Amino acid sequence: RAPHKRLGVAIVGLGRLTLNQILPAFSQSQLARPVALVSGRPEKARAVAAQYGIDPAAVYHYDEMARMAENREIDAVYIVTPNGRHRDHALAAAQAGKHVLCEKPMANTSAEAREMIAACADAGVKLMIAYRCQYELLNLETARLAQSGELGAPRIIHATNTQVHGAGDQWRIRAALSGGGALPDIGLYCLNGVRTMLGEDPIEVYAQIVNPVGDERYAEVEETVSFTLRFPSGAIANCVTSYGAHECKNMEIRLEKGSLELENAFAYQGQRLYVAQLRDGREQMSEIRLAPKNQFTLEIDHFADCVLNSRTPHTPGEEGLQDHILMEAIYRSAREGVPVKI
């Protein structure tokens, strides 16, 4: 392979995330480029292909993903369809011999996540889950500081991801396509975020679910989840996610000798990191500033680097599986009203 070759990616699903974030992020990538599209709407796909200089012959329907095996321009796929479709699309891509980058949540269940890991391993292709915050620079700096010992040990984390969900019958409120409500969609950022900040996995979860009475949007999936995670180090995380509360995407870590506040931790942009530190008995406040970079581009470039240079992704399928195991424990705790050991 020529050293300058960029990874050729087929994007699967032309919804909001693909059109508004992912395709624009590719234009800033040095290592990857979109070379094919997979969509249920051929006319729209052809228009998007023309806009991004993609060969119109490289537009596929979901049923035709096996044909991608014949297209040597396609090295990998980026799956951006509803959660309940990820497993089938990942299996189809692996069978066609293509590496897989898959949006979060990885699937609907841990069983599906395991099938995806096995299929990619059998096919000898890489599997990465698109946990964009793990590639965002101020999130990385927060995790580094939390684990460095400079502020003592982390004791308490608060993570909030809330937004007000519009009306309408979309896949996010249909359990078969979403696997759940606010938890897998946006609460996952709290869950994965606190695991990343602490660099360890919880040993116990305790959760409560609240749904507005009589609201048909929440007949199949949940609106609000509050969950507590207890970690082996003794740290405790309080997380809350909701489709029904004014937007907040912040994370706060209280350590023995200071605190870290990451504003807009889970947003596409606008992260701000404030550090409070005890020095000689006095509290000093500072803000850490870094030149912002598009986190989708950083994530795509990491995936491309892993494929092109035979490296293991920082967020492999096992990372997605672990979150599914934890989300299943969160649902069980809420259902049974008791803490659940992992």
Active site residues: 104, 189
What is the rounded distance in angstroms from the CA atom of residue 54 to the CA atom of residue 101? 19
Terminal-residue alpha carbon distance, the chain: 44
Query: Which range, of 11-19, 112-120, 157-165, 284-292, touches ligand NDP by CB under 6 A?
Result: 11-19
Cα separation values, 53 from 43, 48, 57, 188, 216, Å = 15, 9, 12, 34, 42
> Closer to ligand NDP at the Cβ: 120 or 130?
130
> Closer to ligand NDP at the Cβ: 132 or 302?
132
Out of 7, 10, 14, 326, the residue judged to bind ligand NDP by CB under 6 A: 14
Q: Is 85 in the site for ligand NDP (CB under 6 A)?
A: yes
> Closer to ligand NDP at the Cβ: 104 or 126?
104
CA 8, 14, 15: angle at the middle one, nearest 5? 135
Residue 158 · residue 230 · CB < 8 Å: no
Q: Tally helices (H) and strands (E) across the chain.
A: 11, 16
Residue 224 · residue 211 · CB < 8 Å: yes
Location of structure tokens 């937007």: 247
For residue 1, how far is the Cα from the chain centroid? 30
Alpha helices, H only, the chain = 16-17, 23-26, 42-51, 83-95, 110-123, 137-148, 175-178, 182, 188-198, 295-308, 317-336
Q: Is 56 in the site for ligand NDP (CB under 6 A)?
A: no
Q: Is 11 in the site for ligand NDP (CB under 6 A)?
A: no
Burial class (CB in 10 A: 0-12, 13-18, 19+), 335: exposed
> Closer to ligand NDP at the Cβ: 63 or 122?
63
Q: How long is the chain?
A: 342
Q: Is 40 in the site for ligand NDP (CB under 6 A)?
A: yes
Out of 5, 30, 41, 335, the residue judged to bind ligand NDP by CB under 6 A: 41
Q: How far is the CB of 130 from ligand NDP (least distance, A)?
A: 6
> Closer to ligand NDP at the Cβ: 123 or 182?
182
Q: Is 315 in the site for ligand NDP (CB under 6 A)?
A: no
> Closer to ligand NDP at the Cβ: 17 or 236?
17
Residue 119 · residue 91 · CB < 8 Å: yes
What is the rounded distance in angstroms from the CA atom of residue 245 to the CA atom of residue 222? 13
Q: Is 194 in the site for ligand NDP (CB under 6 A)?
A: no
Residues of span 212-231 touching ligand NDP by CB under 6 A: none
Q: How far is the CB of 164 from ligand NDP (least distance, A)?
A: 16
What is the rounded distance in angstroms from the CA atom of residue 196 to the CA atom of residue 140? 9
Query: Which range, of 16-24, 243-251, 274-282, 329-337, touches ligand NDP by CB under 6 A?
Result: 16-24
Residue 171 · residue 82 · CB < 8 Å: yes
Query: Which range, of 81-89, 195-203, 249-257, 334-342, touches ligand NDP by CB under 6 A?
Result: 81-89
Interface mask toward ligand NDP for 137-176; x: CB under 6 A: ----------------------------------x-----
Out of 6, 15, 73, 206, the residue judged to bind ligand NDP by CB under 6 A: 15
Q: Is 87 in the site for ligand NDP (CB under 6 A)?
A: no
> Closer to ligand NDP at the Cβ: 37 or 340?
37
Interaction site with ligand NDP (CB under 6 A): 13-18, 39-41, 80-83, 85, 103-104, 130, 132, 171, 177, 185
